[in-house]
Structures are given as C-alpha cells and as structure tokens.
Chains A and B, each alone.
Chain A
Amino acid sequence: MSREALVNALLALALLGAPLIAAAQDEPFYVALASRVAILALAGVGLNFALGTGGMVSFGHAAFFGLGGYVAGVAALHAFEGSPFFAWPFEIGGSESMVVIWLVALAVSALAALAIGAGSLRTSGVYFIMITLAFAQMIYYLAVSLPAYGGEDGLSIYIRSTLPLVDSDDPLTFFLVCYALLLLALFLVHRLVDSRFGAALQCARMNPLRLATLGIAPFPVKLAAFTFSAMLTGLAGALYAELNGFVSPAMLSWHRSGEIIVFVILGGVGRLFGPVAGAALFILLEAFVGGWTDRWQLVLGGILLAVVLFARGGVIGLLAGKARHD
C-alpha cells in the first residue's frame, strides 16, 4: 500500500467514523456537519476531474452546483403544491423521489455543461477562466429574476424527498447516502483517470498538439470530461439543497465557485482524495474558527495565502508527498 493510499483510506475512515460516533453520542449537529463535508467533497471531486486531471480551470462550477440545487427545490415545490412544472406538450409535475431528483439533476447539469463547455472550450488560459465565470453569472441572474422560484429569496424545501427502503429524514441515514455517493464518485474517477479516456484527457492537458497527432481530437475528450465533472458537482448541489432544506441564488454565486476551487487546491490539485481533505479542512475551520471569532474569513484568507505561497501540494501533498507523475 502506497503512502497516498494509506492517507486516503484513513481520510475515508475518519469521515465515516466521526458521524457514527456523533450519532451514538446524540450530537446531530456533527452528523449534519459530516454530511456537509461529504457533499461539498463530492462537488470538489467533480471540479477536480476537470481542473486537476483535465487542466480546465473552471471558475463557474457553482452553476452546476446551483442547478442541481434548483432541481431539488423546484421538484419539491411542485410536488408540495401538486402543480405541474410544465403542462405542454406533455405534463411533468414535481417529484418526491430522491432518485428521480438525482437523475434529473445529473441530466440538467450535463446539458448545461455541454452548452457551456462547447462555448468555453474554444478558448484557453485566462479566457477560459473568465468565460466559465461569465456563464455562471448568467445562470445566477436568471435565478435571481425568476419570481416563480423565489427570485433573490430562494426556495424552501419543506419535505425532504424520499428513498426506497430507508428513511432519508434521519440525519445519519442521509449522511450514509451522501457518503456512499461520494465513494462511488471517487471510485468512478479513479477508474476513469487510469482508463484510455483518462490517458487521453491528461495528454490533452499536457500537450494537446501531441494528442491530435495521435489521431484523437482534444475537444471532444475535454468536453466529455467537463460534462462528467459538472454532473458530479450538480449531484452534490441536489444533495446540498436537500440537506439544508433550502436553495437560493447564493448556491450559484461566484463565491461558491471560488470555494469549490478552494477545496480542490487546499486538498491538493489532481489528487484523488484532495477535495475530500480540502472540504473537510475548510468546513472544520469554518465551524470551529467561526465559532471562536466573527472574523473567521480573515483567518481563512491567511491560511489560503499560506497554502498558495508555501505549501503547493495541499494537504495530501503534505501528508503523502508528491504525486508520482509530477
């Protein structure tokens, strides 16, 4: 077992163990905190695939996170009111089934990512960063100006959607569901990175011209990776809205995009468990430093600066050393 695999296993165990102990001690706050970590880590795993493996610095992943959240919110609203989402040419109503909501969130983020990616991937470097940001802002303003779905105030989800067999309202069960999805996503990413597709994607990051001379066009490879990445982040958004019982344009804001990038970099860019470590550290800092002083953003800013300037491999880099292929 390599040192990185050991660190990863310990992280996975810690994230599973902490809420189990908290639930045994009857501390629902910490169970919810662990759910937040798992969900935001999932969003980060999505971005890490585009950013770390594919080299696409998306500053607009909040768009997918928020779209996923709005899927959950809108489905809950229509299910609650019994009104149709649209009635023509065929009728689609709300839904109380979490699995349906996940599938719709995946599909909506995939469609959005195909459109945004097709427009943005023509460019690269700083233009790509700014265009993804601009597309996310467009969706943000769209959400702000939709009074039917709460506009600036957002939407409350009064009843959490349900899963077959288990009780999704139980905090620990909900955590376990999020945790299972996170592990599934990590497994998929792990398999993808080592696959033929992953090799092509990494080559597209390092030397697109060479990939093209090998007979593989970089654009479709990158677009597929960008879409997959957005789907994971969109799924995380749907879970996040269900966890909070609330969705608002803040989920789409560029601050959120920045935060997801922070998870990835704090943990270690391109490392499988990087976003898990990053999200965990971020949420723990927010919860504990935030409880200790109102000025926690000052502390966070200082830590981020220190990581960028002095600890470039992130948490995983610190614990497990450099990546093998750096």
Chain B
Amino acid sequence: MSAAFLIEQLLNGVQLGVMLFLMAAGLTLVFGVMGLINLAHGSLYMTGAFFCAWIAGETGSFWLGLAGGLVAAAAAGALIEILVIRRLYDRDHLDQVLATFALILIFSELMRLIFGDRPLYLDIPGLLSGAVPLPGGGGYPAYRLAIIGVGLAAAVGLYLLIARTRLGMRIRAGESDREMIGALGVDIRTLYTAVFALGAGLAGLAGGLVGALQSVQVGMGEPVLILAFVVIIIGGIGSVKGALVGAVLVGVTDTLGRVFLPQFFGLFLPASEATSVGASLAAMAIYLLMAGVLAFRPRGLFPVDV
C-alpha cells in the first residue's frame, strides 16, 4: 500500500468530514441557542442541492447554482422557522421530533412536486474538473480539495462571526441566558430566525457542493442528517468547535474503515467473508466510536453548560 493511496483516503475522509461539519454546525447552533432538535435539517440540505442543480442546469453556471442553493435553503429555513419552528421552542423534545419529522415528509413531497420524481444531476465546474498531483505519485480531484477549502473557510468564518461580531455576541448571549438578552432589548424572535436561517444556509451550501458528486434526489438528506447527529453527539451538543472535531473524526473513521477493514479481515479470512464482515463493521464503526466516546464523556468531547 503506497503513501499516495493513504493520503488520498485521508483526504477523502477529511472531505466527508468538512461536509458533515457544514451540516452539524447548523444543528448544533440551533440546539445550543434555541434548544431545538431539528430533524428537518436534512431536508434543508436537500433543498439546497435541488435548487443548486436546477439553477445550474438552467443558467449553465455552477457558481450561480451554488449561491442560489444557499439562498434557497436559508429562505426555506427562515420560512419554516416563522411558520412552525418558533412554536416548538417551549415544547419538549418529543414534540420537536414529531413536528420536524412531519416537515421532512412535507419537504420531500414538495421537492417531488416542484422538480419531478427523477433525480437531477450536476456537473463539476470546468475550473475544478482536473486533478492535483499528490506527493508520491497519483492525483487528487481538485473539486474535492475545493470542498475541503470551502468547508474550512466556513469554519473560520463561523468562528469569526461568533467570536468577533455583534450578531455572534448576541448568539452567545442567547445561549447562556435568553431572558436576560430579551430584557436588554434584543429582539429575540428575529435573532432566532437569523440563527436558524444561518444554519439552513450552511446545510444548503453542503447540499449544493455534494450535488456534483452524487445524484440529487429525494431522501438524500436523511443519511447525512443521521451522521451529523452522531457528529454533534461526539462533539458535545451546542459546541461549534466540537462539531468540527467530531465531523473530521467521523469522516476519517468512516472512510478509512470502509477501505481498510475489509483488507484487514482479508489477512485471516477467506476473501468473500472478509469483504462482508469488513463492510458491516465499517458501517458500524462510527456508531461504535460514538458509544466509545460517550462511555468516557457522556456529554461529548466539548461539553457545553446549558
């Protein structure tokens, strides 16, 4: 096994990780600030992907599509926040789970109504269609490297937003004491809508970016949503830093598990059995990782005091 292969797989893992971070950041912000579990986050990701693929198909410009997907997801997020989500902040988690489950059903059908039953496809933009040479031979798709770049830029941007701006200050204040910041004259309803739209926009961005790597179809959001939940549980619910660390951990574990576990079992099992045992263990690896983390740190790696 060559070093280039290992680097390639590691990069794949990191790429999956930053995608998951874009999803998990919104989930964890919404939970940290509003105390809400949002199962419909995957639907916002799907909305971003659909609008990105559709706009890119109509205009021929991937970048317009990506911007459109982000805006569409943020707008959809703001809309459901105003219509539905804000009635759920005072409810228990059970009501939130059920209501956002209902939103998933509604979103999925709406996407089918608007864009039809068939999946959409999105081409990688010409600028990024090449490969970047890796040390030790071989190449790595430039588009995937660009995704890693965008994800890391989003992480830095989110950090600056939360740590350095007035909006970020209000978000942090909302996390620690929502009555007090309301009493200080901050319009908390608008703040919540803004936070929700921000998370939705990040999910839409992730959806648009992934749309060029896989087909854009109804139901694409749910597998990612569940991985994103694993990420925020590992990282500590409410912590953006935890989401980043958890996302990269999950991405790398999942990717390397899928590549190396079947090979590992191949050392002492017959080939066909090794593939199936390895594949099933690889599919379970991140859940085992989560169970392991929770056994030692029941509130995640970076617990937030709520």
Contacts and interface: CB of A to CB of B under 8 A. Distances in A.
Interface in B3-48: 31, 37
Contacts of B163: none
Contacts of A127: 233, 237, 294, 298-299
Nearest to B83: A305
A270 to B, nearest CB: 11
Contacts of A135: 287
Nearest to B113: A295
A183 B87 CA distance: 37
B226 interface: yes
B37 A126 contact: yes
Interface stretch (B90-98, B205-213, B239-247): B90-98
B80 to A, nearest CB: 10
A301 B110 CA distance: 11
A133 B31 CA distance: 17
Interface stretch (A141-149, A169-177, A225-233): A141-149
A265 B87 CA distance: 17
A142 B277 CA distance: 9
Contacts, number: 119
A297 B108 contact: yes
A83 interface: no
Interface string A259-275: 00110010001000000
A250 B69 CA distance: 30
B155 interface: no
Contacts of B97: 57, 59, 129, 258, 261
B146 interface: no
A309 B99 contact: yes
A269 B94 contact: yes
Given A254-B222, A309-B87, A298 B298 contact: no
A53 B73 CA distance: 39
A122 B101 CA distance: 26
Interface string B224-246: 00100110010001000000000
A129 B93 contact: yes
A189 interface: no
Interface centre among A135, A269, A298 (most CB of B within 10 A): A298
B280 A141 contact: yes
B233 A146 contact: no
Interface in A125-139: 125-127, 129-131, 133-135, 137-138
Contacts of A297: 105-106, 108-109
Contact of A304 (B94, B99, B233, B287): B99
B277 to A, nearest CB: 8
Given A134-B287, A145-B280, A123 B298 contact: yes
A309 B93 CA distance: 13
A301 B102 CA distance: 4
Nearest to B230: A134
A300 interface: yes
> What's the dominant secondary structure at chain B's contact region?
helix
Give the interface size bracket for B toward A: 35 or more
Contacts of A304: 98-99, 101-102, 105
B248 interface: no
A146 B110 CA distance: 35
A309 B99 CA distance: 8
Contact of B98 (A254, A255, A265, A302): A265
B84 A146 contact: no
B131 interface: no
B284 interface: yes
B226 to A, nearest CB: 6
Given A126-B37, A134-B287, A258 B101 contact: yes
A95 B24 CA distance: 46
A150 B149 CA distance: 41
B93 A122 contact: no
B236 to A, nearest CB: 10
A126 B93 contact: yes
Nearest to A123: B298
B93 A125 contact: yes
B50 to A, nearest CB: 16
B290 interface: yes
Contacts of A258: 97, 101
A138 to B, nearest CB: 4
Given A126-B237, A308-B95, A145 B108 contact: no
A60 B78 CA distance: 30
A51 interface: yes
Interface string A281-302: 0000000000000010110111
A130 B38 CA distance: 12
9 contacts: A123-B298, A135-B287, A142-B284, A146-B280, A297-B108, A301-B106, A301-B109, A302-B102, A308-B98
Given A59-B97, A254-B226, A302-B102, 9 more contacts: A127-B299, A129-B97, A133-B226, A261-B98, A304-B99, A305-B99, A307-B98, A308-B88, A308-B91
